[in-house]
Amino acid sequence: MRILIWILVALAGAVGWGMLALSRGEPISAAWLVLAAVGTYLIGYRYYSRFIADRIFGLTNRRATPAERLNNGRDFVPTSRWILFGHHFAAISGAGPLVGPVLAAQFGYLPGTIWIVFGVVLAGAVQDFVILIGSMRRNGKSLGQMAKEEIGPFTGVAAMLAIFAIMVILLAVLALVIVNALRGSPWGLFTIACTIPIAFLMGFWMRSWRPGRTGEATVLGIALLFGGLVGGQLVAASPVLAPWFTWAPLTLSGALIAYGFVASVLPVWMLLAPRDYLSTFMKVGTVVLLAVAVIWEHPLLRLPAITRFVDGTGPVFAGKLFPFAFITIACGAISGFHALVSSGTTPKLVRQEQDARLIGYGGMLMESFVAVMAMCAAAVLDPGIYFAINAPLGSLGGTAQSAADVIRTWGFTVTPEAIDQLAHTVGEATLLGRTGGAPSLAVGMATLFSGAFGERLIALWYHFAIMFEALFILTTIDAGTRVGRFMLQELLGHVWAPLGRTSWYPSVALASLAVALGWGYFLIQGVLDPLGGINSLWPLFGISNQLLAAVALCVGTTLIIKAGKARYAWVTLAPLAWLLAITLTASYQKIFSPVRRIGFLADAQAIAADVAAGVTDPARGARLIFNDRLNAAMAAIFVVVVLAVVAASIPTWVRVAAGRKVAPPVEAPMVESAYAG
Amino acid sequence: MPDEPTWRRSLGRCLTAFRQVVGMPDYDRYVRHLRLAHPGRPIPSEREFFELYLKARYGEGPTRCC
């Protein structure tokens, strides 16, 4: 009977993929996409994750977890597995799985979907799961600590440096996504600005007025948040107030940098914790809503399965399908960042060892499903509209007419009236050239939601979607700046001890400022970039995130080999090899490609030629050239760090596998669990 | 509390689950843990617990992802 059900699941998935494969030409329903994805996830979960759990690590509920042994009622707490699944999912999912697929939709919906679904089953979920198991069996050690103890001190430092550099790029690119969504948008800006006083109010509520009443504070916060959403419409309609909230990109960037700095030095309870509660709640709620809307409506996908831009000439970002589709969709298929969460809060909460399968592997499947839905939301848009929103202003020209003309040369028809009409319907002055994925995702989501829950509210749904994205990006910005500060202080502490003290105020302020200005520099660079900063920064972020995943897979491989299961090391080695292939190709092209839109150095050369010809102002040219070289250097640093980690790992693998080196078990000793049996 | 109505107990259970998913502090659980595991140890006030908890939760390392 069981077997029959699994055969049916497999058949359902196969039918889904079959429909996707056979429907060239005419638009098909999103339902097939969802069916194909879910069928594949279920098969992967049932067979592959069980193989990893049983054959490689021998997960057993008889072994007590750190949550049971070290239970302190605070951070080590045995937690029911479905609750922890929700918690872990909320912690790993953010803007990445939503934005990446929307950008990659320029290749059509099919290539991205294939990578999201198969990438997660064979690579992303494997990484999260293996690191979760490793950390869980080591009392919740972090990725950096495991790299140091299992491979070597050098690898530990390299991992830490990599994490810091990635954080800087991540914060810059996410901030750029917000800037592009909120520039010249009084409604959006007002709603987002409201979240700051709301968070303060919640902070004081749960600390001073009604200590510990976090639930009350959150309900209040959510109510006020919706008030801010509705209020934004009134602000945008008011001729007096609207100019106050209509900001230029540079002003917005300055404000975001200042916000990141201030938020990271304020006490956690005042801003970070309340924001975190709000955004987690909104995230889980909206993802559920989106799933309901996609399944209920199963709309037609109007974007072609594959577009002509697989040849590398795409307007959203430059570069061919291989490798750029695979680094643009970072988080939905595999994300190195998750290794930090899987070796952070989550391993300290797992109640029984076998729960780790649902939490680690299953949580990542859920994230991939979010990415599939984001892809659906982008693909329900009219292709012409999709490109009008996502191509940089530089290539579209400033008016709906010029944009429609340019888009026609790409082979998609859209009328200028349709572009203007859509902007008007969602309550914005213009949607042209709003790169970064968030606005087109918001239009897609608003289309789905208003279809499922009420046509007339489309403007409200659009701004709801923008708020939902901006809310958790801002949370990432203040949490990220704070974490960057801890890391920088730890590094600086080696130079001069007082700088490492996290309670010494001057050091805290100095380190926070340095981190905020660090990502702020890349943000401003992106805002000033004539090609639109997403084109240069998002690939850089994708490369760094995938390279962190490569570091995590190196650690995972070491764990497997040290456990005496070298014959199964391909489980992590195969994804590692694939990641190295795509990231090294992508970095090489980003640095050395002769095509100006792809290669940083080629762009620097072209600008130098423009300056010499008198087309570009020399001071501006010098700055653009410096930025190009800086980006090339960042890409080079990522590559060097990762190759060093791989090079340092291989000798350990070979020696342990050949039996020449005895691998001391660093796992915490086995203690019988009281929960078993 | 055996005479508590069922709906209140289910509501309480829902709220606890919600708190755990979002990652909020749970004072009652902490007090229960202390009474059980370390009887005799002084029990911090709700506000002290709140601060201890936030320190453990946001003290080090990333808690959020991209």
Peptide bond into A267 cis (omega under 30): no
Confidence band of B64 (pLDDT split at 50, 70, 90) = low
Exposed/middle/buried for residue A29 (C-beta within 10 Å: 0-12, 13-18, 19+): middle
Partners of B27 on chain A (C-beta within 8 Å) are 212
Which class for A80: exposed (0-12), middle (13-18), buried (19 or more C-beta within 10 A)? middle
- Specify if B61 maps to a domain: no
d(CA A144, CA A134): 12
Domain assignment present for residue B64? The answer is no
Q: Can you list the domains of chain A with their CATH numbers?
A: 52-184+247-657 (1.20.1740.10)
User: Which residues are CB-neighbours of A403 under 8 A, at least 6 positions away?
Assistant: A388, A391, A396, A397, A416, A419, A432, A433
Do the domain assignments include residue B12?
no
% of chain B surpassing 90 pLDDT: 0
State residue A98's pLDDT score. 92
CA angle B48, B49, B55 (to 5 degrees): 95
Identify the CA nearest to A34 among candidates A330, A362, A294. A294
Which tokens belong to A483? 């974490």
Query: Do the domain assignments include residue B5?
Result: no
- Residues of chain B in contact with residue A174, where contact means CB-CB under 8 angstroms, are 66
In this structure, what token pair is assigned to residue A69?
Answer: 């042994």
Query: Which percentage of chain A shows pLDDT scores above 90?
Result: 73
- Residues in chain A with CB shorter than 8 Å from the CB of B58 are 268, 272-273, 479, 482
**Is B16 a residue whose pLDDT tops 80?**
yes
Nearest-by-CA chain A residue for B61: A483
B4 to chain A nearest CA, in Å? 21
The full DSSP string for A340-365 is HHHTTTGGGTBSBTTHHIIIIIIHHH
| Beta strands, E only, A15-104 | none
Whether residue A276 and residue B66 make contact (CB cut-off 8 A), yes or no, is: no
B65, two tokens = 């992802």
Say what the pLDDT of residue A541 is: 94
What is the model's pLDDT at position A662? 73
Chain A touched by B1 (CB under 8 Å): no
Tens digits of residue pLDDT in A540-564: 999 999 989 999 999 999 999 998 8
Rounded Cα–Cα distance for residues A304 and A307 (Å): 6
Nearest CA in chain A to B15: A215
B62–chain A Cβ distance below 8 A for any pair: yes
Size of interface A-B (CB pairs under 8 A): 132
pLDDT in tens, A339-371: 988 998 899 999 999 999 999 999 999 999 999
Per-residue pLDDT, A664:
67
Beta bridge partners of A63: A672
Cβ A137 vs Cβ A623: under 8 Å: no
Query: Residue B35: which domain range?
Result: 25-55
pLDDT for the residue numbered B2: 55
> Are the C-beta atoms of residues B55 and A85 closer than 8 Å to each other?
no
Predicted pLDDT of residue B66: 56
Stretch A108-127: mean pLDDT = 96
Q: Provide the domain count of chain B.
A: 1
Query: Is B33 near chain A, with CB under 8 Å?
Result: yes
Q: Average pLDDT over chain A, rounded to whole?
A: 92
Chain A contact present for B44, CB below 8 A: no
Look at residue B30 and tell me if it is in a domain: yes
Question: Which residues of B are less than 8 Å from A277 in CB distance?
Answer: 22-24
A56-70, A491-505, A591-605: range with lowest mean pLDDT: A491-505
Q: CB–CB of B65 and A92 under 8 A?
A: yes
Please say whether the beta carbons of B30 and A73 come within 8 A.
Answer: yes
Q: Is B13 on the interface with A (CB under 8 A)?
A: no
Interface test with B, best of A176, A216, A268, A481 (most B CBs within 10 A): A268
Neighbours of A240 (CB within 10 A): 7
| Three-class secondary structure of residue A209 per DSSP | helix
Residues of B in contact with A482 (CB under 8 A): 58
The pLDDT, as a whole number, for residue A215 is 83
Q: What is the mean pLDDT of residues A294-311?
A: 92
pLDDT of residue A498: 85
pTM over 0.90: yes
For residues B47 and A351, which has the higher predicted lDDT (pLDDT)?
Answer: A351
Task: Tell me the per-residue pLDDT of A442-456, one tens digit each, with 9 for 90 and over.
Answer: 999 999 988 877 767
Mean pLDDT of A552-581: 95
Q: Is residue B3 part of a domain?
A: no
Distance from CA of B65 to the nearest CA of A (A): 5
Contact indicator for A317, A539 with CB cutoff of 8 Å:
yes
The reply to whether residue A545 touches residue B66, judged by beta carbons under 8 angstroms, is yes
Using the structure block, give the residue that is written with the tokens 């929307």: A102
pLDDT digit string (tens) for A243-264?
999 999 999 999 999 999 999 8
Is B38 inside any structural domain?
Answer: yes
In a domain, B39, yes or no: yes
Which chain A residues are within 8 Å of B17, Cβ to Cβ? Answer: 80, 83
Q: Are the C-beta atoms of A117 and A351 separated by less than 8 Å?
A: no
Give the closest residue to A262 by CA, choosing from A68, A498, A513. A513
pLDDT in tens, A196-222: 999 999 999 988 888 878 888 989 999
- Interchain CB contact of B51 with A (< 8 Å): yes
Give the pLDDT band (50/70/90) at residue B63: low
Task: Answer yes or no: is pLDDT of B1 > 70.
Answer: no
Query: Which residues are within 8 A (CB) of A623 and not within 5 positions of it... i.e. 6 or more apart?
Result: A528
Mutate which: A99, A128, A171, A276, vs B, most B CBs within 10 A: A276
| Alpha-carbon torsion, ordered A486, A490, A495, A498, to 10 deg | 70
> Confidence class of residue A107 from pLDDT cuts 50, 70 and 90?
very high
* pLDDT score, position A59: 95
Q: Which residue of A has its CA nearest to B58?
A: A268
CB–CB contact A341 B21 (8 Å): no
Gap between the Cα atoms of A215 and A164, Å rounded = 34
* Residue of B45, B66, B52, B4 lying closest to A283 (CA atoms): B66
pLDDT tens-digit map of A6-41: 999 999 999 999 988 887 778 899 999 999 999 999
pLDDT digits (tens, 9 = 90+) for B18-35: 888 888 888 888 888 888
| Mean pLDDT calculated for residue range B29-53 | 86
Q: Is the pLDDT of residue B60 over 70?
A: no
CA distance A551 to chain B (A): 17
| Among candidates B37, B57, B66 on the partner chain, residue whose Cβ is nearest the Cβ of A170 | B66
Q: Name chain A contacts of B39, Cβ cutoff 8 Å.
A: none
pLDDT of residue A677: 59
For the segment A648-671, what is each residue's pLDDT rounded down to a tens digit?
A: 999 999 999 888 877 766 788 889
Three-class DSSP labels, A553-579? HHHHHHHHHHCCCHHHCHHHHHHHHHH
Structure ipTM: 0.84
The answer to whether B61 contacts A340, with C-beta atoms less than 8 Å apart, is: yes
Q: What is the Cα–Cα distance from A32 to A53, expressed in whole angstroms?
A: 30
* Chain B residue with Cα closest to A97: B66
